[in-house]
């Protein structure tokens, strides 16, 4: 039972990292990408392979995995964001499906049968305890760093960009630069989460990073409250624990996975209409409508009423 | 200072800017007048990079800028305002202004991580400058408040102050007087005059004839995407032909 | 494989025949983008609805092709109109951000896919127990009945769509609304009605496309999202957003390209080509990209309306 709870805590911690990173992209950057799981995958596979094939120490491999994920994000963000943000969403779908397809088909990554024999981060009777503690610490540092990022001068720029991107540019500020940076930071955090997953669970398959994973992360951010610091954290914890409750129903796996999918995406849709600011966002700050509609800014809306 | 030649823009079949030449000089206030739809805002948008001209060149401060994106032109010191105030509603007034600092440090993440003290110093300087500008438009006491509490005219003033925060050498004002009433009128005039006196090149799109007569040195009359007349404000306003064009198109 | 004339002829014919459904999907996506001004990523979900409605009709109720296909189309039309009426219309009224629309449409697709997986299982399925179509040789080229059905159905539907948009009052209203919604409303056209009609038309196109797909191959519930819709989006972009029929032609072009690519790329990597194509298109066709979803309608771009100063600011 203790082992189960510790594993749950580790999974929750990894999801917190993923959701926080995704929130930087989706909530603060206003960039709809479904490819967050891919950077998670890139981090996981890079870290696992670097330690397996090159014999790098695990912590170093994890850091490099995060860096590789951050750098890989430019491959998606630069072509699509330089042209128009509207394209990111479809480009991210192609990016995700393409990378997963590659992982699924090359021998190097273990292909569809998965990558096993990954080096464990720690060998100790207290392995799970130490790992859970480490992950909680990493989450705390990440959350604090994000808070620092979005409340300071950088956060002021992000807020202004969300209010009116055109005026933002007319004042000499480079929105694309900010978006690409947020994208890289968010992807790097996902990469780190990937490394943390790989060296604890010691087995990776490409299926873990498909649209189900995208839907789950989207749910965590939207239900928790996009563009708030605490929303995705609480959303991630809540949505990691919730499926465990369903697990007690003892349904076959072929039913479980789609059922979870239905519940998660159903929650996203429900929240979009009923509570777009999320469970933990306020009406004034955060939420998806912090992004002004491009066609009409709010002052015009007031004038029209 | 700012010199554009042959700016041309088609939207589909319609010519909205037909080979426009314009020169703005330091210390001079130029009025851009003409009926709605004459292409005045399109000209502003081309100068500041929000509309890409089909042809023509723009030289600002000795540098070709027609290919640069908007934010880079702003960083060279080409500032503008908008017909509506378009303030950042989630930010306080002073934050609205600080964003417009040409060397805003908060955008450079690496510097924030590795030179936090430098960034703090820049912030401090920016804040002081923003507060002084807000004092100048008489809103110093409201610096920490949100823009939504202000009257429309006051918002326009903040929009102007935000453009001035750029501290560039050229400023384009799009209908600064539209919707401005009462005491703010005088403040607006004073601030614009002072900026020109300090050596800035100012260009104003405006329908308020009294305002133009009061503060502008030179006027350019646009009609159907063309510059049809250019000269002293007095001469242009006295021209019966132009008056007919102006008011004719209103009816 | 060596390219012989016979092989080229066969690849062209097969590519053309299989392009039919891609063409229909591209038309549906482009139509909704033009009229409703929404990147309707929920299209994949509607395709799933169409597919499994027909699946029920054929496999569970044992209906024959025509009534079964009609039942499928009607279900899809209702689903599409419900999506517009209870989804897009409300978000539009709230003046929701582009972000919200994107998330809503994508989540909707995922939701419907999971629903299908929950009800019908995750394994691939065809619409009929047997999908072997009789074939004949026309010269060196193998022509199957499916090919002929696919091409004639597509030509009929595209022709009908063209006539509807050009000749009927309802169709002209659609174009007017897509060009300038507020202006069209001033002239007495009902915006909301036009939005519903375009969704219904798209639903018919999608149902037909899914019928063709399901009578030729087995698909997973997730295939519409991971392949068909991406195809449609790329075609829409290449076609230059706002031009419905150009998107259809681009869909045919892409299918042919994929058909020929068998010569150079192993079939295992075929699908990767599609995903790479997205980036190629974005980098090489930026002109399609300029037109953002906003107040700037295609009509303004085409110069049918004089650009007033205030309009210029709104659009810029």
Predicted pLDDT at A305: 25
Side-chain-facing half-sphere of C60: CA atoms under 13 Å:
9
> Can you give the residue range of the structural domain that contains C14?
5-315
Min distance C64 CA to chain A CA atoms (Å): 30
CA distance A153 to chain B (A): 4
Chains linked to C by 3 or more Cβ pairs within 8 Å: A, B
Q: What residues in B contact A174, CB-CB < 8 Å? A: 69, 71-72, 107
Query: Looking at the complex, does the CB of residue B99 fall below 8 Å from at least one CB of chain A?
Result: yes
Inter-chain touch A172–B71, beta carbons under 8 Å: yes
Task: Give the tens place of pLDDT for each residue, B176-196.
Answer: 998 888 888 999 999 999 999
- Rounded mean pLDDT of A219-236? 90
Contact B11 C309 (CB under 8 A): no
Q: Are A34 and A218 in contact (CB under 8 A)?
A: yes
CA A214 – CA B122 distance, rounded (Å): 40
What CA–CA distance (Å, rounded) separates C150 from C116? 25
In the predicted model, what is the mean pLDDT of chain B?
90
Q: A interface mutation test: which of B91, B99, B172 has the most A CBs within 10 A?
A: B99
As a whole number, mean pLDDT of residues B41-63 equals 93
For position B57, which CATH number holds?
A: 3.40.50.300
Question: Left (φ > 0), alpha (ψ -120 to 50) or beta: where does A110 sit?
Answer: left
Top pLDDT among A251 and C63 is at: C63
> Which range among A8-17, A124-133, B140-149, C276-285 shows the weakest confidence by mean pLDDT?
C276-285
The reported pLDDT for the residue numbered C286 is 63
Would you say residue C288 has pLDDT above 70?
Answer: no
CATH classification of the domain holding C284: 1.10.3470
- Integer angstrom CA distances of residue A214 from A15, A48, A207, B238, C100: 12, 22, 12, 67, 16
Say whether pLDDT at B220 is over 90.
Answer: yes
Please judge whether B106 and A285 are an interchain contact, meaning their C-beta atoms are less than 8 angstroms apart: no
pLDDT at C306 > cutoff 60: no
Q: Could you report how far apart the first and last alpha carbons of chain B are, in Å? A: 37
Structure ipTM? 0.91
Per-residue model confidence (pLDDT) at position C163: 94
Size of interface A-C (CB pairs under 8 A): 155
Alpha-carbon span A68 to A190, nearest angstrom: 11
pLDDT bucket at B227, cuts 50 / 70 / 90: very high
Instruction: Work out the number of other CB atoms within 10 angstroms of the CB of residue A284.
Output: 11
Q: Give the model's pLDDT for residue C267.
A: 77
Residue A301 has a pLDDT of 30
Q: How many CB atoms lie within 10 A of CB C191?
A: 18
In this complex, do B107 and A170 lie within 8 Å of one another by their Cβ atoms?
A: no
Return the SS3 of C36: coil
Number of domains composing chain B: 1
> Residue A20: which domain range?
2-304
By the 8 A CB rule, do A43 and A192 touch?
A: yes
Q: In DSSP terms, which residues pair with A174 in a beta bridge?
A: none
Number of separate domains in chain A: 1
Structure pTM?
0.85
- Judged against a pLDDT cut of 60, whether residue A299 lies above it is answered with no
Tens digit of each residue's pLDDT (9 = 90 or more) over A261-283: 899 899 989 988 888 888 877 65
| Residue A304 pLDDT | 30
Collect all residues with Cβ–Cβ distance below 8 Å to B89 and sequence separation of at least 6. Answer: A163, A298, A299, B146, B147, B148
User: What integer pLDDT is reported at residue C153 of this predicted model?
Assistant: 94
pLDDT, residue C302, reads 35
Indicate the SS3 state at residue B29.
Answer: strand
Whether B38 has its CB under 8 Å from any CB of chain C: the answer is yes
- pLDDT of res. B76: 93
pLDDT 10s digits, A146-166: 999 988 899 999 989 988 889
Domain that holds residue B109: 2-248
Summarize pLDDT for A97-110 with one digit per residue, the tens: 899 999 998 888 88
Q: What is the CATH number of the domain that holds A211?
A: 1.10.3470
Q: Which residues of C touch B82 (CB under 8 A)?
A: 313
Instruction: List CB contacts (< 8 A) between B38 and chain C.
Output: 309
Q: Is residue A286's pLDDT more than 60?
A: no
User: What's the half-sphere exposure (Cβ side, CA atoms, 13 Å) at C209?
Assistant: 33
Please report, in angstroms and rounded to a whole number, the separation of the first and last CA atoms in chain C. 52
Sheet with B2-11: list strands edge to edge.
Answer: B14-24, B2-11, B55-60, B63-64
Give the C-alpha separation, B171 to C218, whole Å.
64
Residue C316's pLDDT band, with cuts at 50, 70 and 90, is very low
Interface test with C, best of B10, B11, B43, B223 (most C CBs within 10 A): B11
Query: What pLDDT is stored for residue A300 in this prediction?
Result: 31
Is the pLDDT confidence value at A290 over 70?
Answer: no
| Domain count across chain C | 1
What is the distance between the alpha carbons of residues A74 and A81, in angstroms, rounded to a whole number?
A: 10
Q: Tell me the per-residue pLDDT of C215-236, one tens digit each, with 9 for 90 and over.
A: 988 999 999 988 899 889 888 8
| A193 confidence band (pLDDT: 50, 70, 90) | very high
State how beta strands B29-33 and B201-205 pair: parallel
Q: Which of B50, B89, B165 sits opposite A298 (nearest CB)?
A: B89
Q: Which two tokens stand for residue C106?
A: 């994508």
């Amino acid at each position: 039972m203790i082992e189960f709870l510790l594993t749950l805590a580790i999974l929750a911690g990894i999801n917190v990292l993923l959701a926080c990173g995704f929130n930087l992209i989706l909530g603060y950057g206003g960039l709809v990408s479904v490819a967050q799981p891919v950077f998670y995958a890139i981090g996981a596979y890079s870290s696992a392979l670097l330690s397996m094939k090159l014999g790098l120490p695990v912590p170093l491999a994890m850091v490099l995995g995060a860096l590789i994920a951050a750098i890989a994000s430019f491959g998606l963000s630069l072509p699509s964001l330089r042209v128009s943000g509207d394209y990111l969403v479809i480009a991210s779908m192609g990016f995700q499906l393409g990378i997963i397809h590659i992982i699924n088909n090359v021998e190097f990554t273990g292909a569809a049968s998965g990558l096993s024999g990954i080096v464990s981060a720690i060998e100790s009777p207290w392995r799970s305890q130490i790992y859970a503690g480490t992950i909680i610490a990493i989450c705390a540092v990440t959350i604090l760093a994000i808070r620092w990022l979005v409340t300071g001068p950088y956060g002021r720029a992000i807020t202004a960009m969300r209010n009116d991107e055109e005026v933002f540019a007319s004042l000499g500020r480079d929105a694309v630069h900010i978006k690409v940076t947020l994208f890289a930071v968010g992807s790097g955090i996902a990469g780190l989460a990937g490394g943390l997953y790989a060296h604890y669970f010691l087995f990776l398959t490409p299926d873990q990073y498909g649209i189900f994973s995208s839907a789950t992360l989207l749910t965590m951010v939207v239900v928790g409250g996009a563009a708030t610091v605490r929303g995705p954290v609480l959303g991630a914890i809540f949505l990691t624990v919730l499926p465990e409750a369903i697990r007690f129903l003892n349904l076959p796996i072929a039913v479980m996975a789609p059922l979870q999918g239905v519940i998660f995406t159903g929650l996203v849709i429900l929240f979009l209409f009923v509570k777009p600011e999320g469970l933990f966002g306020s009406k004034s700050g955060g939420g998806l409508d912090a992004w002004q509609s491009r066609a009409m800014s709010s002052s015009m809306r007031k004038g029209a009423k | 200072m700012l010199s554009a030649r042959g700016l041309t823009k088609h939207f589909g079949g319609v010519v909205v800017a037909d080979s426009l030449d314009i020169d703005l000089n330091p210390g001079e206030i130029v009025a851009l007048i003409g009926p709605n739809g004459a292409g005045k805002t399109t000209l502003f948008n081309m100068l500041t990079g929000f509309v890409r001209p089909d042809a023509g060149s723009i030289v600002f401060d000795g540098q070709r800028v027609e290919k640069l994106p908007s934010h880079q032109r702003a960083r060279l010191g080409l500032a503008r305002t908008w017909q509506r105030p378009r303030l950042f509603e989630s930010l306080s007034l002073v934050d609205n202004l600080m964003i417009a600092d040409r060397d805003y440090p908060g955008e450079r993440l690496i510097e924030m991580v590795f030179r936090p003290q430098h960034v703090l110093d820049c912030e401090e300087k920016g804040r002081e400058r923003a507060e002084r500008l807000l004092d100048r438009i008489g809103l110093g006491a409201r610096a920490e408040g949100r823009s939504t509490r202000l009257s429309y005219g006051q918002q326009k003033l903040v929009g102007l102050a935000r453009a001035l925060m750029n501290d560039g050498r050229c400023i384009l004002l799009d209908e600064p007087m539209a919707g401005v009433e009462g005491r703010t009128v005088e403040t607006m005039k004073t601030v614009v005059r002072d900026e020109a006196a300090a050596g800035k090149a100012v260009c104003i799109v405006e329908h308020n004839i009294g305002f133009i007569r009061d503060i502008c040195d030179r006027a350019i009359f646009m009609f159907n995407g063309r510059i049809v007349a250019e000269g002293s404000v007095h001469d242009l306003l006295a021209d019966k032909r132009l008056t007919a064009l102006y008011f004719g198109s209103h009816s | 494989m060596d390219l012989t004339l016979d092989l080229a002829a066969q690849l062209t014919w097969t590519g053309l025949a299989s392009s039919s459904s891609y063409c229909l999907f591209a038309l549906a996506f482009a139509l909704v983008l033009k009229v409703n001004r929404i990147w309707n990523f929920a299209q994949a979900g509607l395709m799933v609805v169409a597919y499994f409605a027909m699946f029920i009709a054929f496999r569970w109720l044992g209906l024959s092709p025509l009534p079964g296909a009609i039942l499928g189309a009607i279900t899809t039309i209702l689903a599409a109109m419900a999506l517009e009426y209870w989804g897009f219309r409300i978000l539009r009224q709230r003046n929701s951000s582009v972000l919200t629309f994107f998330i809503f449409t994508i989540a909707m697709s995922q939701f419907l896919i999971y629903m299908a997986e929950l009800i019908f299982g995750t394994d691939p399925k065809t619409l009929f127990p047997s999908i072997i179509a009789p074939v004949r040789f026309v010269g060196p080229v193998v022509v199957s009945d499916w090919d002929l059905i696919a091409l004639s159905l597509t030509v009929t539907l595209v022709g009908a769509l063209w006539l509807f948009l050009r000749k009927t009052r309802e169709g002209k209203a659609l174009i007017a609304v897509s060009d300038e919604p507020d202006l069209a409303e001033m002239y007495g056209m009902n915006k909301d009605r036009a939005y519903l009609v375009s969704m219904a038309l798209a639903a018919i196109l999608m149902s037909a496309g899914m019928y063709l797909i399901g009578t030729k191959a087995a698909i997973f519930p997730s295939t519409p999202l991971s392949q068909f819709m991406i195809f449609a989006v790329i075609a829409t972009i290449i076609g230059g957003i706002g031009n419905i029929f150009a998107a259809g032609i681009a869909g045919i072009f892409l299918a042919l390209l994929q058909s020929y690519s068998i010569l150079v790329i192993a079939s295992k990597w075929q699908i990767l080509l599609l995903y790479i194509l997205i980036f190629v298109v974005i980098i090489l066709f930026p002109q399609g990209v300029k037109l953002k979803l906003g107040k700037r309608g295609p009509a303004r771009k085409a110069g049918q309306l004089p650009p007033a100063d205030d309009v210029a600011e709104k659009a810029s």
